[in-house]
Structure 1
Amino acid sequence: MSDLSSQNYDRAMHRHPISGDVDVYDSLRDIYIGRLVNIHTQGLMLVGDVPLEEDRLYELDMHIPHENGKQVLRIGVDCLWTRAADQNGKHWTGFSIIDSTPHAAEEIHKLIQSWGQF
């Protein structure tokens, strides 16, 4: 984390580690930014090669494997924190979900139920 005060975020909701590969893209810049590590209904964490900025809004596309290929869920997020990982230039990034359609929220619930580790 870039600042020790960032460690004070309360985690009122249980995070669900994801047991499959969910690729995440910055939809506005049309670039791959990382892989989903964990998620809950109000936030998520990624690991990736692209450093993102704290206190900035992003529009993310999550590419979720689906029986008919990939399903893309678009959500609006606020980047709460970021820090360098211990491996080859990777970055951990935590987000709060600030905007999603009812369909995206429902699909996040399904993702947690089917792929989340409780």
Structure 2
Amino acid sequence: MSADNERRRLPRLQLDLQVELVDQASGETLGVLVNVHLEGFLMMGGLTLKPDHLYTVELRPITPVPSLEPVTLTMDCLWTRAMGQQDRVWAGCQIVDLAPDEKQKLAAMIEQFTHEAAEEEQHQRMA
């Protein structure tokens, strides 16, 4: 088991819907979620992401989903690693501030994504 896996307490959930992270201070899109849980996430972003830096962001589905509301939270960018593309990085982020109503929205987003993923997996097995 790697050191990264030993530190993880919660399973990472893959998202079937692209969700962008928009910096509330600048309005710029910082990147997109790769996987998520209620304490943190992995994202793919640009070189402007700085480790050990706090960002207040809004998580928004790129294609709007009527039943999902954007989620506002403060994240700590723990680390970044080059992706092999000149201007893109992987970034590990911890959620450091999440209001109770925003946590409910994030939980609903995760629930819907994992439900859809399970449904699609079941459909693929039946095909």
Q: TM > 0.5 between the two?
A: yes
Are 2:114 and 1:77 equivalent residues in the alignment?
Answer: no
Aligned with 2:23 (options 26, 33, 57): 26
**For residues 51 and 8 of structure 1, do their structure 2 counterparts lie closer, same or farther at Cα, with a shift above 3 Å needed?**
farther
Q: Hey, which bits of structure 1, 4+ residues long, moved more than 6 A?
A: none
Larger radius of gyration between Structure 1 and Structure 2: 2
Partner of 2:125: none
Matched residues, number:
112
Q: 1:112: Cα distance to partner? A: 1.3
Q: Which segments of 5 or more consecutive residues in structure 2 lack a partner in the other structure?
A: 119-127
Work out which structure has the larger RCO, using CA pairs closer than 8 Å and 6 or more positions apart in sequence. Answer: 1
| Contact 1:76 1:97 (8 Å CA) reproduced | yes
Q: From the two aligned structures, give the one with the greater helix fraction.
A: 2
Answer with 107-116 or 6-15: which moved more: 6-15
Q: Which segments of 5 or more consecutive residues in structure 1 lack a partner in the other structure?
A: 1-5
Quote the Cα distance in structure 2 between the aligned partners of 1:93 and 1:35.
Answer: 10
Give me the TM-score of the superposition, normalised by structure 2.
0.77
Partner of 2:112: 114
In percent, how many aligned pairs have the same letter?
28
Partner of 1:66: 65
Q: From the two aligned structures, give the one with the greater strand fraction.
A: 1
Quote the Cα distance in structure 2 between the aligned partners of 1:107 and 1:34.
Answer: 20
Aligned with 1:51 (options 48, 53, 65): 48
Partner of 1:3: none
Q: 1:8: Cα distance to partner? A: 7.6
